[in-house]
Chains A and B, each alone.
Chain A
Amino acid sequence: MQNIKSNKNHSAFTKKNLFITAGIILGFFVVMLLAEGSLLNRQYKSLIVPIGIYIILAVSLNLTTGFLGELSLGHAGFMAIGAYTGALITLNLNMPEVAEFIIALIVGGSIAAIFGVLIGVPVLRLKGDYLAIVTLAFNEIIRSIINFLGITGGAMGLSKIPRYTNYVWVYAMVVLTIIIIYNLVNSRHGRAISAIRDNYVAAESIGLKVSKYKVMAFVIAAFFAGIAGVLYGHNLSVLKPADFDYNKSIEILVIVVLGGMGSIRGSIIAAAILTFLPEVLRAADDFRMLLYAVVLIAMMLFNSSGIRTRLEESGKLPKLPKLTRNKAK
């Protein structure tokens, strides 16, 4: 009996992983049905890509705020870097669509990650409110530089960016983001990150290199924000610096807070709800944004611990089996 159990845990091809693979494939068909079928009208179909982009942004920001426990208000800055890098690549390269877009995604994410290192190393010495303000300033600096540079088209922005982004790309990137961040969080590196969040002094005392793991979490979050930016630019086909002001950063933070700090599933659900809501409220016409704000306040009041916790406690969502929990005992 003991043997069978240990054999099972040894390989990557467990029953659980097969279920997850099946779930991912099934999920793809559901998204395809929604995007191609006649279930949704055109207005709602156009929301599928933005929802995916917001999921990537929220899940990656959750790594910084939820798991590392540092408040970052500059996520839109990294998104902007990815968006402009990706757009400049596809505008200037002459390659087949798929190759060009893959390069744009990788380079866009990587440049955002490099900025993550440049910002993270000096800034992550700060804590709490100070870090929040510095990241906010970073966001504005990036936006101003993009506004000022010639290559980015200044305040006019970039246009005629090929519309490569579709639900297939977005789905693939969402799955990649969730898998990598979920796996990271449940690994030795993720435990180090959470330990630093829970107690900085104790984390040092058990031999964890605090600054290394802080920067690591920050950079990985920046990478995925960059990828979300590339998808964003190739969806809208036009980019303006004004798209990436601090409002955007706060919008992403609102999703993370509503979904629940440190909950990947909560971020996914909240991203879908908050992208959908303004469209649903379109019927209310002039009162749309007012209603949106009221609904947001109501949701925060009733969800002070986040969507996921509520659903799990009420039994509507099965509790996620955590790999770190020892089930054999």
Chain B
Amino acid sequence: MSLLEVKNLGISFGGLRAVDDVNLNIEKGQLYGLIGPNGAGKTTIFNLLTGVYRPTTGTIKLDGVDIVGKSPSEICQTGIARTFQNIRLFKKMTVLDNVKAALHNQVKYSLITSFFRTSSYYQLEKQMNEKAMEILKVFDLDGQASYLASNLPYGKQRKLEIARGLATNPKLLLLDEPAAGMNPNETAELMETIRLVRDKYNITILLIEHDMKLVTGICEKILVLNFGTELATGVPEEVLNNPEVITAYLGE
């Protein structure tokens, strides 16, 4: 059964058709890759899926629910979480608080409880701490829980962004170039983590990536974009040997 169903998705910025007539079907539990040359519209598709942009045409359904027109925060609550190409952490907050902020809609207490710290405050904060530490442990960030997010090394910041996305309890996790700027060792480690996360939390992952080693290593299916349109869809080996795809990347 399809978790994400995208039909005829398109958006125009003035005269520019940034994404045109894209169809995407992601099965539950799948690890799906979205690749393409620079400016192909990959991140624009992420922005359309998460409600940052409103599509000009087409429908997006998550688990059968139409999410077009919903705000980013509503879409997050229906079950899509994401990371960003240029890291967007809460820099002046601690690593732990970054994840706890994402638990906002899972562990709730009222404003009055916040003001006067009734006993449920202590209980629920403790529950939040435990949940957050559990997620941080998966990414080997539990040792740096009290650091400011801006003080983490680059690779760990990328991981923290994924941890934060996971904390919102998503059905679908969108990763925008998770391996950008990582060395081969870090990338290999990240691949393991992504697979582990998928299995442990039972979620579906759609990722944008330029590192073909990562893409062929973990993605089960790939969609190639070029100039905002679909170029090819299929299993990695097949798609990457497609002459059209090679031309799009390397030129004639």
Q: CB within 8 Å of B: which residues of A?
A: 6, 9-12, 180, 183-184, 187-192, 194-195, 197-199, 201-210, 216, 262, 322-326, 329
Q: Decide if B227 is an interface residue (CB 8 Å cutoff).
A: no
Q: Decide if B109 is an interface residue (CB 8 Å cutoff).
A: yes
Q: Least Cβ distance of B200 to chain A in Å? A: 20
Chain B residue numbers with a CB within 8 Å of A208 are 73, 101, 104
Q: Least Cβ distance of B134 to chain A in Å? A: 12
Q: Decide if B159 is an interface residue (CB 8 Å cutoff).
A: no
Residues A207 and B122 in contact, CB atoms below 8 Å apart: no
Residues A188 and B107 in contact, CB atoms below 8 Å apart: yes
Q: CB within 8 Å of A: which residues of B?
A: 50, 52, 71-73, 76-77, 81-82, 84, 88-94, 96-97, 100-105, 107-109, 111, 113-119, 121-123, 125-126, 128-129, 133, 142-143, 145-146, 164-165, 167-168
Q: Least Cβ distance of B60 to chain A in Å? A: 16
Residues B94 and A192 in contact, CB atoms below 8 Å apart: no
Given the interface pairs A9-B122, A183-B116, the reply to whether A326 lies near B168 with Cβ below 8 Å is no
30 pairs of residues in contact across A and B, judged by CB atoms under 8 Å: A9-B122, A11-B119, A12-B117, A180-B116, A183-B117, A184-B115, A187-B109, A187-B114, A188-B100, A188-B103, A188-B108, A189-B114, A191-B93, A191-B100, A192-B101, A194-B92, A194-B93, A198-B92, A199-B88, A202-B89, A204-B76, A205-B50, A205-B81, A205-B165, A207-B76, A207-B102, A208-B73, A262-B92, A326-B129, A326-B145
Query: How many A-B pairs fall under 8 Å by CB?
Result: 130
How long is the Cα–Cα vector from A201 to B133 in the complex, in angstroms?
24
- Cross-chain contact of A205 among B72, B128, B143 (Cβ < 8 A): B72
Residues A11 and B102 in contact, CB atoms below 8 Å apart: no
Residues A326 and B76 in contact, CB atoms below 8 Å apart: no
Residues A329 and B101 in contact, CB atoms below 8 Å apart: no
Chain B residue numbers with a CB within 8 Å of A9 are 122, 126
Chain A residue numbers with a CB within 8 Å of B143 are 329
How long is the Cα–Cα vector from A192 to B145 in the complex, in angstroms?
18
Residues A329 and B126 in contact, CB atoms below 8 Å apart: no
Q: Least Cβ distance of A196 to chain B in Å? A: 9
Known: A191-B101, A203-B101, A205-B72; 6 extra A-B contacts, CB below 8 A, are A192-B101, A198-B93, A199-B90, A204-B73, A208-B104, A210-B73
- Cross-chain contact of B101 among A183, A206, A323, A326 (Cβ < 8 A): A206
Chain B residue numbers with a CB within 8 Å of A190 are 114
Chain B residue numbers with a CB within 8 Å of A187 are 109, 113-114, 121, 125
How long is the Cα–Cα vector from A204 to B143 in the complex, in angstroms?
27
Residues A188 and B114 in contact, CB atoms below 8 Å apart: yes
Chain B residue at minimum C-beta to C-beta distance from A262: B92
How long is the Cα–Cα vector from A73 to B82 in the complex, in angstroms?
36
Residues A324 and B94 in contact, CB atoms below 8 Å apart: yes
Residues B104 and A326 in contact, CB atoms below 8 Å apart: no
Residues A12 and B119 in contact, CB atoms below 8 Å apart: yes
Residues B164 and A206 in contact, CB atoms below 8 Å apart: yes
Nearest 10 CB-CB pairs, A to B?
A: A187-B114, A207-B76, A198-B90, A202-B88, A204-B72, A206-B102, A325-B146, A195-B101, A191-B101, A199-B88
